[in-house]
Amino acid sequence: METRKLIIDTDPGIDDAAAITILLSEPSLDVKLIASVSGNVGIEHTTNNALKLLTFLNKDIPVAKGAAAPLLRDNRFATNAHGKSGMGGFEFPEPKKELLLEENAVMSEYRTLMASEEKMTILTLGPLTNIALLISTFPEVKEKIEEIIMMGGSTERGNIGIYGEFNVTIDPEAAKMVFRSGIPITMVGLDIGRKARLMVEDLEELEKSGEVGTMISSLFRSYDGGHVEEGVKMYDPSAAMYLMEPELFETKEAFIDVEIFSPLTIGATVVDYDGTLSETKNAAVCVDVDVDRFRKRYVQRVADTKR
Ligand code: RIB
Ligand code: CA
């Protein structure tokens, strides 16, 4: 089977964990590195959470610790949604510290990409700080990146401020650098995660499917204040599912840029589908998802994940 080499850059994070879990059991993916970044919670927690998740899943994938803060701005954590540790709601085992690399995420991402014969995909589930540092420090690495699939941005309203999506708005300068990099990008934004919700019956299915499903359901039942009745918004899992089953999604080509100046609209992803700004299109945007199939396929993937 043709395998696709992948780097995951992430700020676990409950929905990050729900995404990483199904990626690690996909046979066609060869996950070479998991890089942590400060985002939902601080870098020590996001790094530790990645290690705890890998230990629980019995997956020996190297983890590299990334940026402790955005390029220019202060951290703004999302402990209200993810809990103080960032993965509240489930008791994970003590992390296998031997999975943590000495070198930092930017160096590890650079080394991993340059050592690979074929181009690699990068899936970003958190702020883009590491990726901005990577491509500005080592521009030659862009040749080794097949595409960046990002959970980030929004074609509609935001979740931090009026128009800002969390991953982009925590480090809007980093996001702007990535969108201007010339690397092929697919943006899976808030609007998709808001549509592709898991309902209570899906959580019950997960719980029946075994200990991995129970872990995911426990995390989701404590996520975002635990309001599961209206459905669990699947932000990071929708980016992971796009990577593995793009046929569930509809995409459109667009020019995207990021607001970095106006305090009113900071972090807004301005999505131009029809050339109004006379700029060259630089990304594909997910604009719709087959929600019923998404829910079924996500639950099945978790059920198929054995630890
Ligand atoms: O806006 C949602 C995104 O921000 C998700 O990736 C969530 O984990 C947080 O990182
Ligand atoms: Ca995330």
DSSP code, position 160 = B
Tell me the Ramachandran region of residue 201: left when phi exceeds 0, alpha when psi lies from -120 to 50, beta otherwise. Answer: alpha
CB-based contacts of 274: which residues, under 8 Å, 6+ apart? none
pLDDT at residue 165 tops 90? yes
Whole-number Å distance, alpha carbon 279 to ligand 2 midpoint, is 29
Query: Which residue in the block uniquely carries the two structure tokens 């489930």?
Result: 90
Ligand 1 binding pocket includes 126 (Cβ within 6 Å): yes
Residue 234: which pLDDT band, with cuts at 50, 70 and 90?
very high
Q: 255-291 pLDDT, tens per residue? A: 999 999 999 999 999 999 999 999 999 999 999 999 9
**Would you state the pLDDT for residue 90?**
95
Alpha carbons 179 and 284: distance in angstroms, whole number: 11
Give me the sign of the Cα torsion angle 237, 10, 4, 284: positive
pTM of the model: 0.98
pLDDT at residue 1 tops 90? no
- What one-character-per-residue DSSP string does 37-64 give? -SSSS-HHHHHHHHHHHHHHHT----EE
Each residue of 110-139: b (16+ CB within 10 Å) or e? Answer: bbbbeeeeeebbbbbbbbbbbbbbbbeebe
Whole-number Å distance, alpha carbon 17 to ligand 2 midpoint, is 8
pLDDT at residue 2 tops 90? no
Start-to-end CA distance of the chain, whole Å, equals 22
Do 148 and 134 touch, CB atoms closer than 8 A? no
Whole-number Å distance, alpha carbon 111 to ligand 2 midpoint, is 24
Nearest ligand to the CA atom of 190: 1
Alpha carbons 22 and 97: distance in angstroms, whole number: 22
Residue with the larger pLDDT of the pair 104 and 88:
104
Mind listing the domains of the chain with CATH numbers?
Answer: 4-304 (3.90.245.10)
